Amino acid sequence: MLSIKNLHASVFDTPILNGIDLQVNAGEVHAIMGPNGSGKSTLANVIAGRPGYEITAGSVEYLGQDIAGLEADERACEGIFLAFQYPVEIPGVSNMAMLKAAINSIRKYRGEAEITAADFLKLIRNKAELVEMKQEFLKRSVNEGFSGGEKKRNEILQMAMLEPKLALLDETDSGLDIDALKIVAQGVNALRGEDRAIVLVTHYQRLLDYIVPDFVHVLSAGKIVKSGDKSLALKLEQEGYSWIEDELQQAS
């Protein structure tokens, strides 16, 4: 589904990613871990097409297509979703109105008819239940006056509504208490499926207790320096990142 080869990328002209190789297949869940500043969030934003995040070398292929030339909205319509680390507020625009416009925009892109009001209401009620979000949140302005945890849950609600093929979660677990974390995990797990892939960017192993990844990658200085299965995350939890750095130094 996602094939990243020797990816180099800069953020507003500062090089951050220095040769990433990553293969993500449909049905898989990958966790990207690593210390602060290693480039985890940059990777997620480059894939989503954030302005200012430039690919300087290498390639990102999604469903067999190089996506460098696609705008962020085109990537979204193709099925790429990014759950933001810092969701922004959009005053005066209700959650419902935004989601309905988003769904219809994506449907239009795919040549499908607009969703009916009744179907939309049914869908959003279902999905809101999944992330235990009260109806009143749907009518409120997007993220305005939401607590940190509510914002993150709102991201998962949007993901559930848009049903992406590739979901990128950028530190969705940060700042969540344990109850909120469980709700978020519940939402993500519900989306797991054979034709979907999920990439979790996270600092902490904690999230991976609830969303069990198939692969764990460690990023350091803009490169994947180690890959493994869930046990790698546990080891990082116990021993930190320094042993990987040591290993790397010994190898060189």
Type of residue at 133:
M
Nearer to other proteins, 92 or 251 (CB): 92
Among 77, 96, 169, 244, binds other proteins (CB under 8 A): 77
Nearer to other proteins, 38 or 158 (CB): 158
Q: Min. distance of Cβ 52 from other proteins in angstroms? A: 8
Residue 190 near other proteins by CB under 8 A:
no
Residue 115 near other proteins by CB under 8 A:
no
Q: If you ran DSSP here, which 8-state letter would residue 89 be given?
A: P
How many residues sit close enough to other proteins to count as binding (CB under 8 A)?
Answer: 33
Find, among 70, 65, 62, 60, the residue nearest to 19 by Cα. Answer: 60
Among 76, 124, 157, 244, binds other proteins (CB under 8 A): 76
For residue 52, with 0-12 CB atoms within 10 Å meaning exposed, 13-18 middle and 19 or more buried, which class applies? exposed
Token representation of residue 3: 């094939």
Among 13, 14, 36, 51, binds other proteins (CB under 8 A): 51
Residues 4 and 27 sit within 8 Å (Cβ to Cβ): no
Q: How many CA atoms lie within 13 A of 124 on its CB side?
A: 23
Residue 128 neighbours by CB under 8 Å, 6+ apart = 134, 135, 137, 138, 157
Nearer to other proteins, 92 or 145 (CB): 92
Residue 109 near other proteins by CB under 8 A:
yes
Among 92, 113, 145, 177, binds other proteins (CB under 8 A): 92
Residue 82 near other proteins by CB under 8 A:
yes
For residue 14, with 0-12 CB atoms within 10 Å meaning exposed, 13-18 middle and 19 or more buried, which class applies? exposed
Nearer to other proteins, 84 or 215 (CB): 84
Q: Min. distance of Cβ 212 from other proteins in angstroms? A: 26
Instruction: State the Cα–Cα distance between residues 100 and 108, nearest whole angstrom.
Output: 12
Site string for other proteins, 148-167 (x = CB under 8 A): ----------x---x-----
Residues 43 and 2 sit within 8 Å (Cβ to Cβ): no
Residue 50 near other proteins by CB under 8 A:
yes
CA distances, 252 to each of 128, 222, 246, 247 (Å): 51, 17, 10, 9
Q: Min. distance of Cβ 217 from other proteins in angstroms? A: 23
Among 62, 84, 146, 215, binds other proteins (CB under 8 A): 84
Q: Rule CB under 8 A: which residues touch other proteins? A: 48-52, 71-73, 75-77, 81-82, 84, 86-88, 90-93, 97-99, 101-103, 105-106, 109, 141, 158, 162
